[in-house]
């Protein structure tokens, strides 16, 4: 790794201003949360911030007090600090009870060791795991102007929303957060802004280089989860190509608002199949007001993939996605 200076920030404002100072001094800067993926990118000299080179400065966010808390508001929902570790998130009783999909998503990330260090923010904003990007190909994600997967090896790439980049979004928390209608609080030199999931994550036509709207001097400080409604239940189901420790081939984050055995409203967000967490409104709408039977669950699965546009080598993701949606919806709706 190139030599760099670690700077421990004590407050979020200090973190942002340290980053700003570095940028103004012509240095390359990265925020460090758990740092597990950041260090790998640095060791491999993969371009993390296009145009900016390997970091001269790391701004440590884990030293910022209070950025890792879960604060349940009364009626206002729950604020989860960006620096909470994935283990702590998954163990937190309030998250596990009220926002199960998020706890379950955190559980599926990588390994216990990584979950003990990795954070919510780090997981949400991690860079893609496309093998071209990670092997140093000069693709969109590295600031280049092409995607090597479209006419190449695209077994793990997107079946929705792809083009000009076809990466699959690598985060497990992201689809869970979007399914929960979470809002994302971004803090930067100009102050803070709160964004919906659809505004936070960006599709390639809008910006092929980045997966979200964070600028180099901005931090995902927290997410806010709306207060759970009555009868709300949720689950996350992740499909991998070994039993653990890989990114999703396909995943489903499902939130259902049930009234007895009738589903009032549904949120279904897919992971591992699109450059952003992929909402499937046609499938969601089929559930509104319905009793969830196996037949309906099958139709919901089919609707979820109706718009799929597989590439040359990832057609298998279509039945896989259909299956995981059908199974998760049915299991969740019919669980006690």
Partner 1 sequence: MSSSRTAQQASQQIGPMDTVGRDVPRIDAYERVTGRATYTRDVRLPGMLYARVLRSPHPHARIRSIDVSKAEALPGVRAVITHETHQLIYSSGSIAGGRQYNDAAKDITKHLRYMFDNPVRFVGQPVAAVAAVDRYIAEDALQLIEIDYEELPFVIDPEEALQPGAPPIWPEGNLALDIENQPRPSGGTSGDPEAGFAAADQVFEDRYTTAFVQDGQMEPRSALAQWEGEKLILYTPTQGISNCRHDNARDLGLDDHQIQVICKYMGGGFGDKNGSYYFDLIAAMLSKEAEAPVLLELTRKDDWLGTHGRWHTVQNLRVGVAQDGTVTAIALEGFSGMGPYLRRSGGIAGIDAYACRNVERVIYPVHTNRMVSGNFRAPSDPQGYFAIQSMMDDIAYKVDMDPVDFALKNVIRPTDEIQFTNYSLDECIMRGRELFDWESRWRPVPGSDPGPIKRGAGMAFMAFRSGVGPSSAILRVNADERYTLFVGVTDVGPGAKTTMALIAAEELGVPLSQVDVVWGDTDLCPYSVGESGSRTTTMTGYAVVQAALDLKRQIAERGMPRGDDVLIASATPNPSTEGKRRMVFGAHFVEVEADVQLGHIRIAKYVAVHESGRILNPRPAKDQIRGAALQGLGQALHEDLLYDPRNGHPLTAGYYGARHLTHLDAPEIEVTFIETDDGYGPYGAKTVGEAGIILGPAAVANAIFNTIGHRMKELPITRAKILEALA
Partner 2 sequence: MEGKRENDDIPQGGDTSRSLEDSRGSDTSRKDEGGSSDLSRRGFLGGTGAALVVAGAPKLGSSEPLSGGAAEQEVQAVPRTAIRVTVNGTEHRVDVEDRWTLNEFLRDQLELTGSKIGCNRGECGACTVLVDGEPMFSCSTLAVWADGRDIQTVEGLERDGAVSPLQQAFMDFNAPQCGFCTSGQLMTASALLVNNPNPTSDEVREGLVGNLCRCSNYNAIVEAVLATAGTSGSGGAQ
Phi, psi angle pair for 178, to nearest 5°: -65, -40
Q: CA 97 from chain center: how many Å?
A: 21
Does residue 315 interact with partner 1 by CB under 8 A?
yes
- Residue 316 partner contact from partner 2, partner 1, none using kind-dependent CB cut-offs of 5 to 8 Å: partner 1
Q: What is the 3-state secondary structure (H, E, C) of 288-305?
A: CCEECCHHHHHHHHHHHC
List the interface residues with partner 2, window 57-76 (CB under 8 A).
58, 60, 62
Nearer to partner 2, 112 or 294 (CB): 112
Strands 219-225 and 250-259: unpaired
Does residue 146 interact with partner 1 by CB under 8 A?
no
Nearer to partner 1, 204 or 310 (CB): 310
Which residue, among 172, 171, 175, 193, has the nearest Cα to 184 in the 3D structure?
193
Does residue 306 interact with partner 1 by CB under 8 A?
no
Does residue 129 interact with partner 2 by CB under 8 A?
no
DSSP state of 126: P
- Residue 69 partner contact from partner 1, partner 2, none using kind-dependent CB cut-offs of 5 to 8 Å: none
Nearer to partner 1, 132 or 201 (CB): 132
List the interface residues with partner 2, window 237-256 (CB under 8 A).
243-245
Distance CA 225, CA 182 (A): 5
- Residue 112 partner contact from partner 2, partner 1, none using kind-dependent CB cut-offs of 5 to 8 Å: partner 2
Radius of gyration of the chain measured on its C-alpha atoms? 19
SS3 8: strand
Does residue 144 interact with partner 1 by CB under 8 A?
no
Nearer to partner 1, 43 or 74 (CB): 43
List the interface residues with partner 2, window 159-218 (CB under 8 A).
none
List the interface residues with partner 2, window 139-158 (CB under 8 A).
none
List the interface residues with partner 1, window 205-244 (CB under 8 A).
239, 241-244
CB of 73 to partner 2, least distance (A): 29
54 exposure class (CB count in 10 Å sphere: 0-12, 13-18, 19+): middle
Q: Would you say 15 and 82 are in contact if contact means Cβ atoms under 8 Å apart?
A: no
Does residue 281 interact with partner 2 by CB under 8 A?
no
């Amino acid at each position: 790794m190139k030599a760099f200076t670690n700077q421990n920030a004590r407050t979020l404002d200090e973190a942002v201003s340290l980053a700003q100072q570095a940028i103004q001094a012509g240095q390359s800067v990265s925020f460090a949360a758990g740092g597990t993926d950041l260090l790998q990118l640095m060791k491999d000299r993969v371009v993390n911030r296009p145009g900016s080179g390997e970091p001269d400065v790391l701004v440590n966010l884990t030293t910022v007090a209070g950025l890792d808390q879960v604060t349940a508001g009364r009626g206002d929902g729950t604020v989860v600090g960006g620096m909470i570790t994935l283990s702590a998130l998954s163990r937190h009783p309030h998250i596990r009870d009220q926002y199960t999909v998020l706890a379950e998503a955190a559980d599926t990330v990588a390994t216990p060791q990584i979950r003990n260090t990795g954070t919510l923010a780090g997981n949400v904003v991690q860079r893609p795991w496309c093998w071209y990007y990670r092997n140093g190909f000069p693709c969109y994600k590295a600031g280049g102007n092409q995607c090597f997967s479209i006419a190449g090896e695209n077994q793990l790439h997107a079946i929705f929303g792809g083009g000009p980049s076809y990466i699959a979004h690598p985060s497990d928390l992201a689809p869970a957060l979007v399914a929960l209608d979470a809002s994302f609080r971004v803090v930067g030199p100009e102050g803070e802004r709160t964004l919906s999931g659809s505004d936070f994550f960006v599709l390639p036509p809008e910006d092929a280089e980045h997966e979200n709207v964070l600028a180099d001097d901005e931090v995902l400080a927290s997410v806010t989860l709306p207060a759970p409604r009555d009868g709300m239940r949720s689950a996350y189901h992740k499909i991998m190509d070994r039993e653990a420790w890989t990114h999703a081939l396909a995943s489903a984050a499902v939130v259902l608002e049930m009234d007895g055995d009738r589903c009032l409203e549904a949120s279904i967000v897919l992971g591992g199949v699109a450059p952003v967490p992929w909402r499937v409104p046609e499938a969601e709408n089929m559930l509104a007001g319905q009793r969830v039977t196996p037949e309906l669950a099958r139709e919901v699965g089919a609707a979820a993939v109706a718009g799929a546009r597989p590439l040359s080598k990832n057609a298998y993701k279509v039945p896989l996605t259909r299956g995981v949606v059908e199974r998760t919806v049915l299991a969740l709706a019919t669980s006690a």
